[in-house]
Amino acid sequence: MSLPCIARARRFEPGAHRPFFMASEQVGWIREQDVPLLAAWPDVFEIGAAAVKLSARFDENADRRSAALAAVIGALAAQGRIVGWRDETYAVRNAFDGAPLAYIERAASRFFGTMTYAVHLNGIVKYADRAPQLWIARRSETKATDLGMLDNVVAGGIAWGLSIKETIVKECWEEAGIEATLAARAEPGRTVHVLQSLPEGTQAEQVFVYDLPLPDDFAPRNQDGEVGEHRLARIDEVARWIEDGEMTVDASLATLDCMLRHRWIDEEAAAGIDTLFVAPLIER
């Protein structure tokens, strides 16, 4: 079976983008249609036929790069070119443990195609007398992206300054009312690498997948208004939602990873997913 989420996770055309560099390192991808917008800041960007570079005059440190980018990002947001402002800082870095080259508003990460990081938790309820089930969330209609779609019980981007574990605790409480002591039981799965074109730009993201065993008497309770509802569903129901494209790409891949590791589905049901557990071959 060929699932649409697996193909979409690598639906990206390098030829429709220009690599984005800072400090001699490629850190992102900018769509050809967006490159002319940056010409308004000739003192910030060096625009060439093959690439866009942040001017070397800002190479002194990450703070200088950040300040230069902040002025551009604010102007692009005012023009409606960058949407979904979060007031959340992301670090520009090609490895999660790498030193940040700059700091940008989260909403700008897809415009510049910079690498982002996220955690997704599969909320698993196991029973003594029947098959396990999964808690699934429906994203609020007011979310900046993928509004109204089905999602994992907990999922969120990792902001600068937070570790994976700290993000898990934070997101568990905000999205599902899961206390820190219970969130600490999260068990690591695999890491999914996504590189896909979206209406707002490029999603280049590493998704750290975790499983969280939940008591059978626990019911998620959203705290931050970002989840419309929660459902406790059978494995076959969730598999059908993935097949029908009702779940987000990220959540679909995180859930498939869980199902494969627990052998709830056959490998043939998720043919091609193994390629997503390694970084794309496109040079970063």
Fold of 14-115: Transcription Regulator spoIIAA (3.30.750)
Give, to the nearest 10 degrees, the angle between helix 249-261 and helix 235-243. Answer: 140
Residue 284: pLDDT above 60? no
Q: What contacts 171, CB < 8 A, 6 or more positions away?
A: 119, 121, 154, 155, 156
Which pLDDT score, from 0 to 100, does residue 273 have?
A: 96
List the structure tokens of 198. Answer: 């979206």
The predicted model scores a pTM of 0.95
CA distances from 71 to 17, 42, 67 (A): 23, 13, 7
Q: Report the CATH superfamily, name and number, of domain 4-9+117-277.
A: Nucleoside Triphosphate Pyrophosphohydrolase (3.90.79.10)
Q: How many CB atoms lie within 10 A of CB 15?
A: 6
Residue 283: pLDDT above 60? no
Find the distance separating the first CA and the last CA of the chain, reported in whole Å: 31
Long-range contact pairs involving 241-247 (C-beta distance under 8 Å, separation at least 24): 241/136, 241/150, 242/3, 242/5, 243/1, 243/3, 245/4, 245/5, 246/149, 246/150, 247/5, 247/136, 247/149, 247/150, 247/151
**Phi, psi (rounded to 5 degrees) for 243:** -60, -35
- With a pLDDT cut of 70, the percent of the chain lying above it is 98
204-248 pLDDT, tens digit per residue, is: 999 999 999 999 999 999 998 889 899 999 999 999 999 999 999
Q: What residue type is 96 in one-letter code?
A: F
3-56 pLDDT, tens digit per residue, is: 999 999 999 999 999 999 999 999 999 999 999 999 999 999 999 999 999 999
Domain ranges of the chain: 4-9+117-277, 14-115
89-122 pLDDT, tens digit per residue, is: 999 999 999 999 999 999 999 999 999 999 999 9
